[in-house]
Amino acid sequence: MIVTFWQAVSVARRLIMTEAVKPTIVFVLGPPGAGKGTQSLNIVKEFGYVHLSAGDLLRAERNSPGSEYGELIETHIKNGSIVPVAITISLIERAMKESASTKFLIDGFPRNEDNLQGWNDRMQDKTNLKFVLFFDCSEEVCVQRCLHRGEQQAKAGAKRSDDNLDSLRKRISTYTNSTRPIIDHYQKLNLVRTVDAAGTEDEIFAEVKKLFSD
């Protein structure tokens, strides 16, 4: 019997998210503007992971015609608040099932205690958490980067609705009050790998590569 490439892909997709093949997960956390997305793309190129950005998935769902969650997601994004966990996890799980990969970077999740509990309840037994990649960066640097990104994207006609100073302050406050305790939780489990994210892209990735080369 000859198995075609697409048949093999179909089988791989059915195996993923089952007990037979548990995907390897790396959570990517840090404040807004720390470079999570940029470095995740570098990791994808170098180490073959699939990058799933919780924020990108939510924005795509918000922009999807007829989405029942679109308006709710937009409100949370503009307010710098956290979207209900059931929505975010559903989008992440769907994206994982649609991929033939078994290695995922999940960027910007879990962002609070509710996210963490939701993941543990629904996904912990289906996946293997390798570690939490934490990009540590000062608020000043993060704000400068985000505002610069907003300016560059505005010139290209694709500015994010949350790359303005008011939304940034709210997002940073949310990170400090809600996400940082999650990082501390994983730190106690010896699962956090910290990278100083204040340098250049190349300097930061040089440190990241050491973690994935072990």
Task: Give residue 4's Cα distance to chain centre.
Answer: 33
For the entire predicted model, the pTM comes to 0.79
| 33 has binding-site annotation | yes
32 is in an annotated binding site: no
Is 34 among the annotated ligand-binding positions? yes
> Which three-class secondary structure state does DSSP give residue 103?
strand
Q: Which residue has the tokens 């994808």?
A: 44
pLDDT tens for the chain, residues 1 to 214: 565 766 665 555 555 555 568 999 999 999 988 999 899 999 999 999 999 998 899 999 999 998 889 999 999 888 878 899 999 999 999 999 999 899 999 999 999 999 999 999 999 999 999 999 999 999 889 888 888 777 777 666 665 555 677 888 888 998 999 999 999 999 999 999 999 999 999 999 999 999 998 7
According to the annotation, is 108 in a ligand binding site? Answer: yes
Q: Which domains does the chain have, with CATH numbers?
A: 5-213 (3.40.50.300)
Ligand-binding site membership of 171 (annotated): yes
Q: Are 166 and 54 in contact (CB under 8 A)?
A: no
- Give the residue from 110, 129, 106 showing the smallest Cα distance to 36: 106
